Structure 1
Amino acid sequence: MADTEIVRLRGHHLLCLLTYKGIGYSPEFVSGMTVIADRLVAGATAEIVEGPDDICAPLCRLEENPHCHELTVPERDRRALSLVAGVLGRSLGDGDRLVLDEKIRVRLRNAYRNGAFEAACALCEWQPLCRDIAAGGYASTLFRSTDEPT
């Protein structure tokens, strides 16, 4: 993979990827999210964007009322970016880039498991499922680290 491959990613999707195990809003969402997770694990650079990203932008063309346009989503993005930035010790906003390598994924997953992102996930319908996935050690997730169980 070229070092210059960029994946446009909105703030709260940084957290969604941590617990993603192939479950989602629709088959189209699952397909797209799986491709993005694979690209990021393979070393693509995430570029933070406001609004629809490479995960949800394709769905905006297919769905009449995609979830990415819900009123709570921009607030989830803001909260997620603020909390992730605190865990990583760097600022994160529109246009910032980072590689979600194994070290960062493990760091974010440990923080997630310890409740660091509760405020960002409070408005999300998937929070109970994600909390269970984290409590279970992230088994069977697709955005994996090599030291995690399969």
Structure 2
Amino acid sequence: MGVHLRAHHLLCLLTFVGRDYNVAFTANMEQIVVRLSSGADDIVLVDGLDDLCAPLMGTAVQDCLLARVLCRDEMAVKNISSYLESQICAGAVLPAQVLGELRSAFSAGTIRSARADCRWADLGTAVADAKFPQAHLCFRDTANKRH
């Protein structure tokens, strides 16, 4: 089954601390974080609306389809592909265990540029700079660090 995520939401999960989003979005993200933290679900990359957008259906969905948000997804795909040294696109399946590597790359600034114009960029940077103590996503460190 997997968790269906657009690329920039994959980056959002890395620094999610459970605040500064609307209640429905936060509750949904918490459920997805639990699923991914367990390692039982893979991540399936999608274009456009994803499992995190679900609680916004009928309200702010139009925001999810704005050009700037789609550009954020494109930049995230480029950054993650470059880091993983493998071209990813919609339909790509990533194991949840890759989140540890991506968090390290985010912390180093390697894959952070897609969030530059995001209203939560400063929060994400603060969480990463503090080494993620309040981040809700947990995972096993991977033995094969790429960089």
Q: Give the TM bin, normalised by the shorter chain.
A: 0.7 to 0.9
- Give me the TM-score of the superposition, normalised by structure 2: 0.87
RMSD of Structure 2 on Structure 1 (CA): 1.6
Query: Secondary structure of 2:89's partner?
Result: coil
Tell me if 1:142 matches 2:129: no
The correspondence for 1:117, drawn from 107, 111, 134, is 111
Output aligned runs, 1:81-92, within 5 Å: 81-92=77-88
- Give me the TM-score of the superposition, normalised by structure 1: 0.85
1:66/1:37 CA distance change after superposition, 3 Å: farther
Runs of 4+ deviating beyond 2 Å: 64-67
Length, aligned pairs only = 140
Q: CA deviation at 1:75?
A: 0.5
In the alignment, the residues of structure 2 paired with residue 20 and residue 66 of structure 1 have an alpha-carbon distance, to the nearest angstrom, of 22
Tell me if 1:41 matches 2:37: yes
Tell me if 1:58 matches 2:58: no
Which residues of structure 1 form unaligned runs of 5+? none
Contact 1:59 1:66 (C-alpha < 8 Å) held by counterparts: no
Contact 2:38 2:139 (C-alpha < 8 Å) held by counterparts: no
Query: Secondary structure of 1:23's partner?
Result: coil
> Residue 25 of structure 2 corresponds to which residue in structure 1?
29
Identity of aligned residues (%): 33
Which residues of structure 2 form unaligned runs of 5+? 142-147
| Residues 92-124 of structure 1, C-alpha deviations (whole Å, 9 max, x = no match) | 1011111121xx222211111111123211121
1:92 corresponds to which letter in structure 2?
I
Query: Secondary structure of 1:54's partner?
Result: coil
